[in-house]
Amino acid sequence: MPADSPNPPAPLVACHECDLLQHDVPIAPGETARCVRCGAELARNPPDSLDRTLAYTLTAAILYVLANAFPLIGLELQGRYAEVTLFAAVRNLWHIGMQPVSALVFVTAQLFPLLEMLMILLVLVPLRLGRRSPRLVAFFRLVLSVRPWGMMEVFLLGMLVSLVKLAHSGSVILGTAFWATAALILILTLAGRAFDRRVLWRMSHPEGA
């Protein structure tokens, strides 16, 4: 009987995994609120969320440039040497007729991680400068749709597996981009932990809950 139900009272929240309504209790910095029924995360309160997320994301953006500008792995085989950057590897797949796979690698290891970082900066920098706009919040939806498809950490494991496989055939050299990628994944993990998306709603709609 939705017609009779009152306007939603402010301190309620629905679990996004099981839909149970519960009170949106205030939580201390560093703590996490979980659903009483299914245990899914309801809210987190990372300290200094906005500043720390910005700092980590800017660091990540610099590391991303390094990870893409330099070779990942080099291989020396009987006096001959080859090295490869991520984009060169993607382009190579495209040219040998593996366009769908090439596109998949490009999107998951290169394009979407970049888009996610840029979009987070695009939303958080104006917020940090005190500009409040509901448009920023609407834009943030794109970040969420891109997020599941960024797979840099899997790509790092892929590099490690490749290294072990190649170690048989010749001498392998770890490129600058390999270390930059490893550092990038660490920083992105920290950025993810520091980020509290509720900052967006709080700062964009200060009059609201």
Partner 1 sequence: MKPALTARQAGLLSCHVCGQLAQAPLDANQRSRCPRCAAPLHQRKPASINTTWALLVAAALLYLPANLLPIMVTSSPVNHQVDTIMSGVIFLWRDGQWPLALVVFFASVVVPLLKILALVYLTASVQMRSRHRVMQRARLYRVVEFVGRWSMLDIYVITLLVALVQFRGLATVDAGPAAVAFGAVIVLTMFAALTFDPRLIWDPLTDSETADHD
Tokens 């930059």 found at: 180
**How far apart are CB 171 and partner 1 at their closest, in Å?**
13
* Residue choice 63, 65, 148, 193 for contact with partner 1 (CB under 8 A): 148
Query: DSSP state, 147?
Result: G
**How far apart are CB 166 and partner 1 at their closest, in Å?**
7
Distance of CA 45 to the CA centre of its chain: 18
Residue from 61, 115, 69, 66 nearest 88 by CA = 69
**How far apart are CB 96 and partner 1 at their closest, in Å?**
7
Cβ pair 195, 43 in contact under 8 A: no
**How far apart are CB 65 and partner 1 at their closest, in Å?**
20
In our burial notation (b when 16+ CB lie closer than 10 A, e otherwise), range 46-56 reads beebbebbbeb
* Residue choice 29, 65, 141, 176 for contact with partner 1 (CB under 8 A): 141
Between helix 86-95 and helix 49-69 the angle, nearest 10°, is 60
Distance (Å) of CA 76 to CA 53, 62, 99, 198: 40, 29, 28, 50
Q: Is 115 in the site for partner 1 (CB under 8 A)?
A: no
Q: Is 90 in the site for partner 1 (CB under 8 A)?
A: yes
Provide the mask over 168-187, with x wherever binding to partner 1 is found by CB under 8 A and - wherever it is not. Answer: xx------------------
Residue from 82, 86, 77 nearest 167 by CA = 77
* Residues in touch with partner 1 (CB under 8 A): 1-3, 5, 7-8, 12-14, 16-21, 37-40, 43, 72-73, 75, 77-78, 80, 82-84, 88-90, 92-93, 96, 98, 100-102, 104-105, 108-109, 134, 137-138, 140-141, 144, 148-149, 151, 154-155, 157-159, 161-162, 164-166, 168-169, 197-198, 200-201, 205, 208
